[in-house]
Amino acid sequence: MITIEDILETNRMITVNKLDVRTITMGISLRDCAHPNIRDFCRNVYDKITKSAEFLVSTGEEIEAEYGIPIINKRISVTPIAIAAEACKTDSYVPIAETLDRAAKEVGVNFIGGFSALVEKGYTPGDKTLINSIPQALASTDLVCSSINLASTKAGINMDCVREMGEVIKRTAELTRDKQALGCAKLVIFANAPGDNPFMAGAFHGVSEPDKVINVGVSGPGVVKHALEDLKGANFTEIAETIKKTAFKITRVGQLVAQEASRRLGVPFGIIDLSLAPTPAVGDSVARILEEMGLESCGAPGTTAALALLNDAVKKGGLMASSHVGGLSGAFIPVSEDEGMINAVKSGSLSIEKLEAMTCVCSVGLDMIAVSGDVSAATLSGIIADEAAIGVINNKTTAVRLIPVPGAKVGDMVEYGGLLGYCPVVPVKSQWSSEAFIARGGRIPAPVRSLTN
């Protein structure tokens, strides 16, 4: 029997600690849409998405109301367009991005991901066309998200693509300079990208996925922080146990929402992504959890250890709560989307180098970080290479989502609004050039998986 305390606890988590389900993401395969004529391809894509996801938003809203749990986003991920569109005889995929945008708006989702290519070992002509189309595609659409996987533990790092993506980020920033380079907030560069990630901007529908699938991303940093507030002075064993219990409860709600969405939409359930996803709202921050463990400000020595414990305990608690776990699963540390991170950057305790160290032990990478507009493409590529190396060697997903804001200088504040948040421009060691290193190109070989010191 449910007790009064249980009911009050659940409702407190939702109303006071901002517990929510961050996203229901429907993955849709576009492999059956292929056509040599791009117009026919676009029509097939539009029809398939709008038919498959017709009731996605209304179903999400129904579940939200019935259970009283906010479901913040309803989204769509599609087969990487470089694969789905490869048969099209065209030199630009921008019209396809515009089609995705229209379809997303028609069904009412707030993002659509999959303007993507998987190039860790090399390019096909479709991959090339896609990468060349990214800046314009992100400038001429509102809801389309793009991602590139350019490294994996099995294949190594495609350094030609690393070089190219530095330039693509710069061009995207330039084309969206009137919106403070907003296009770059919709572009993620991955190592070891998962094909079932429900979170944007990196979501795409992997090639081994079924025709359609429902993936759900949970959240709840505020709930974890609240649980730790009662543990002043407790040791780390107790901290880890409490995080596990809290993560279990959060994930069970995600599992319920995923099963209901799957049943009502008649689409198979894929995975729950066990992530602590922050928002810029006060009380919904991952950085504040780390500070609750005893760090004066996020970035202080001890931060990486605190994040490692948090990330591991969230997984351990969440795994038992869900029948299938996947995606990115871990704590997110996006700077502009986390009130505590923003504050830590402002106060000077958190640097991009410390963030890089933190990405070794958490779920993603250097995420939503605004840098000065005069940072060169080669420096951006250097950062991408470093981050990819961390992912490849540690057999984990890492990613880079940097925003070189044209005209902005270190310390300026840039604001994107909504979930994308705001942040000060972060200093980068760009006075020392990476030019000759990045110019080499080629591939960094896959690492040895034994002798792992």
Partner 1 sequence: MKLIVTVVGKDRVGIIASVTKILADNNVNILSINQNILDGFFNMILFAEASESKIKLTDLQQKLREQGEEIGVEIKTQHQDIFDVMHKI
Which residues lie near partner 1 (CB under 8 A)? Answer: 2-4, 6-11, 62, 65-69, 249, 252-253, 255-256
Measured from the CB atom, the residue of 105 and 252 that comes closer to partner 1 is 252
Alpha helices in 266-351 (DSSP H): 286-292, 303-321, 339-347
Burial 414-446 (b: 16+ CB within 10 A, else e): bebeebbbbbbbbbbebeeebeeebeeeebbeb
Measured from the CB atom, the residue of 63 and 131 that comes closer to partner 1 is 63
Measured from the CB atom, the residue of 81 and 253 that comes closer to partner 1 is 253
Listed in sequence order, the residues at least 6 apart from 200 whose beta carbon sits closer than 8 Å to its beta carbon are: 23, 73, 75, 111, 113, 145, 186
What is the torsion angle, in degrees rounded to the nearest 10, for the CA atoms of residue 184, residue 186, residue 187 and residue 191? Answer: 130
In angstroms, the CA 277 to CA 132 distance is 31
Minimum Å gap between C-beta 343 and partner 1 is 31
Q: Can the peptide bond before residue 201 be classed as cis, meaning omega within 30 degrees of 0?
A: yes
Measured from the CB atom, the residue of 16 and 207 that comes closer to partner 1 is 16
Minimum Å gap between C-beta 114 and partner 1 is 31
Could you tell me the two tokens for 314? Answer: 């969230």
Could you tell me the two tokens for 239? Answer: 């901290």
Minimum Å gap between C-beta 273 and partner 1 is 17
CA distances from 374 to 93, 237, 353, 368, 370 (A): 29, 46, 19, 17, 12
Minimum Å gap between C-beta 415 and partner 1 is 33
Minimum Å gap between C-beta 323 and partner 1 is 12
Minimum Å gap between C-beta 221 and partner 1 is 17
Measured from the CB atom, the residue of 8 and 410 that comes closer to partner 1 is 8
Minimum Å gap between C-beta 68 and partner 1 is 4
